[in-house]
Amino acid sequence: MGYAVYEVGNRWGGYGVPTICEYPSCNEEIDRGISYACGGEPFSEHGCDRYFCGKHLSYCGFKDDGSRCEHKNKCKCKFVELCEKCEKGEDPFPYKPERPEWIKHLLTDSSWKQWRKENPEEVKKLKNPR
């Protein structure tokens, strides 16, 4: 219940945050819950802090020392879902912007009134994106 919305670095995370898959050519609607997080959680030691639909995540195994395991479920390694870039050890895909419906929710929903009062600079950024 406590993971509906939380701050992840300079973005919002949680299953209550609508977004789209961060694979460049994909527009699948998902959320920023851990089930879509590369590495199985935000800022995982193995993944990036991006979120992907099931088509753009694949299971990869890691040994206790953090090295890759290629036994494909025949051992007791830790398996996590990674995006294509993390699987190859490359720099991550660029972030996709916040969804308009999420920004509207932050700026207008009564449940966020206190947050808006306490974070005027963030509100200003949301109202006037670069």
For residue 62, what pLDDT is reported?
65
For residues 102 and 57, membership in a common domain is answered with no
For residues 87 and 109, membership in a common domain is answered with no
Domain that holds residue 107: 97-130
For residue 79, what pLDDT is reported?
76
| Alpha carbon distance 123, 117 (integer Å) | 9
For residues 89 and 107, membership in a common domain is answered with no
List C-alpha distances in Å: 18 to 5, 51, 106, 120: 10, 11, 12, 22
For residues 85 and 118, membership in a common domain is answered with no
In 34-52, which positions are buried (b, 16+ CB within 10 angstroms) versus exposed (e)? bebbbbbbbebebbbbbbb
pLDDT in tens for each of the 130 residues of the chain?
Answer: 567 998 888 889 999 999 999 999 999 999 999 999 999 887 778 889 899 999 999 887 666 776 677 666 566 777 788 999 988 889 999 999 999 999 999 999 999 999 999 999 999 999 987 7
For residues 90 and 35, membership in a common domain is answered with yes
For residue 72, what pLDDT is reported?
60
For residue 42, what pLDDT is reported?
78
- Say what angle helices 100-108 and 120-127 make with each other, to 10 degrees: 140
Phi, psi of 109 (to 5 degrees): -70, 135
For residues 48 and 32, membership in a common domain is answered with yes
For residues 82 and 101, membership in a common domain is answered with no
Q: Encoding tokens for residue 85? A: 């870039």
For residues 63 and 87, membership in a common domain is answered with yes
List the one residue out of 129, 67, 56 whose CA is nearest residue 92: 56
Domain count across the chain:
2
For residue 119, what pLDDT is reported?
94
| Alpha carbon distance 48, 86 (integer Å) | 7
For residues 120 and 103, membership in a common domain is answered with yes
For residue 105, what pLDDT is reported?
95
For residue 93, what pLDDT is reported?
96
